[in-house]
Amino acid sequence: MRAEEGQAIGAPPIYPGFPTAEHLGVVPPLTKSSEDWLSKVTPESETKLEEGLDEALKEYFLFGTIWHGKNLGDGRTNTHRAQEMALSGSEFNAITAENCMKPSALQPHQGVFNFAPADEFVQTSSQMGHTIIGHTLVWKNDAPAWFFQNDDGTPAPREIVIERMVQHIATVVGRYRGKIKFWDVVNEAVDLLPNAQGKLEACLKPSPWLEAIGPEYIELAYRAAHEADPEAKLLYNDYNLYEEKKADFVIAMVKDLRNRGVPVHGIGYQGHMFLDFPKIEQVEYLLKSCRSENIPLSVTELDLSVLPNAWKHRGASVEDSFTLAEKFNPYPETVPEAVLMEQAQRYREMFELFIKYHTTIERVSFWGVWDGNSWRNYKPMEGRRDYPLLFDRQFKKKPAYEEISKLLSLPPEKKNKREPSLTSRS
């Protein structure tokens, strides 16, 4: 029974066989289009401008950020690429594609690929020495309709949808084989929904993929990605994993897949946070659970908003309502120092936790380089001014950066003084 029929899936199903991508051909090699641009940003002889947080954290985990590229998620032109790349080179050693590798960006129409932005991302990031993360292959919110429809708009047969998904994955992952270390293969496939008694239960989220293929689409996606690049680490990525029911379900799903030989190499916890939520204890539950099940975890999209949570007003704009602006956009010009200090302490506590579980955490990546280009400024509500990252709108280090630096300057026994008593990973 599928999730849209009201079933809360307590134990993931055993999936049937799946088609392979052996019949797919080789795609053209990477282009060289980004070389001239890169030379203007980073001297050819050096990839790091100064020692940054990535150096201080390298004994614990990779430290990453994202690549915006030429255009931001709200359609604006990115006019600060040089400054972003300078910070990316000096402070981070891993980088994730924000938008240029999503299905609608790479293959908006069947068989019509737009590889130029992704090629630039991979080539530039490789030359800068970054570990590269591809994001994302299968996601409900970015699934062009052609995957699921016949030419006349009617639903395509299950076998055709499977073939299209597998071919897309094989083409994209195969193109960057050996260049991308991690892939977010399936993104946000689990949700908490009310059951027949009105209680929230974790289940597979209704989606075009689930409707067209069934729950097997998850296994199919990982098999196809692994076949295209056997050396890449394949992650399942999701939000709100501080919710125990959702964390338990995702861990059980991944454990089941791994036990059956499906190549899922870790879990990605997005980590979009607020000043007072989630609680440290909630995040630690996830980390401790992954550690006990020997499942590597990456914090994939970290940021920490200083604004009120506005998700119930998703799609609204503060420009349309004075009441909304007053409540949900309290710092339209500048943010008080006291708020930045509160954010700094919160970040410090989170990094203490991450260091405590560094044997489980492979990577911590921020979802942005600096405040001015953060998605938090236009999502979930347009027209706000947020301050969620480590660098401000003048590209200067914020108190949060300094607090993390202070933490890392402590002797090892004080950085992770609350080392858990669980047995170490084998």
Annotated catalytic sites, by residue? 188, 301
Interatomic CA distance for residues 182 and 62, integer angstroms? 12
The secondary element (H helix, E strand) that includes residue 120 is helix 116-127
Residues sharing a CB contact under 8 Å with residue 168, sequence separation 6 or more, in sequence order = 103, 106, 107, 137, 147
User: For residue 340, how many C-alpha atoms fall within 13 Å in the half-sphere facing its CB?
Assistant: 18
Q: φ and ψ at 117, to 5 degrees?
A: -60, -40
Q: φ and ψ at 379, to 5 degrees?
A: -130, 140
Interatomic CA distance for residues 390 and 396, integer angstroms? 8
Q: Give 47-60 as a DSSP string.
A: S-SS--HHHHHTTT
Q: Describe the crossing of helices 337-356 and 280-292 by its angle, rounded to 10 degrees.
A: 20
Longest dimension (CA), the chain: 66
Q: Look up residue 106 and give its amino acid.
A: L
**Among 7, 2, 5, CA closest to 201:** 7
Residues sharing a CB contact under 8 Å with residue 195, sequence separation 6 or more, in sequence order = 6, 8, 201
The secondary element (H helix, E strand) that includes residue 64 is strand 62-67
Tokens 């990094």 locate to 351
The secondary element (H helix, E strand) that includes residue 67 is strand 62-67
Interatomic CA distance for residues 99 and 76, integer angstroms? 13
Token digits of residue 303: 């940021």
Q: Give 228-262 as a DSSP string.
A: H-TTSEEEEEES-TTSHHHHHHHHHHHHHHHHTT-
Q: DSSP strand E in 113-188: where?
A: 131-139, 182-187
Q: DSSP strand E in 150-290: where?
A: 182-187, 190-194, 200-204, 233-238, 266-269, 272-274
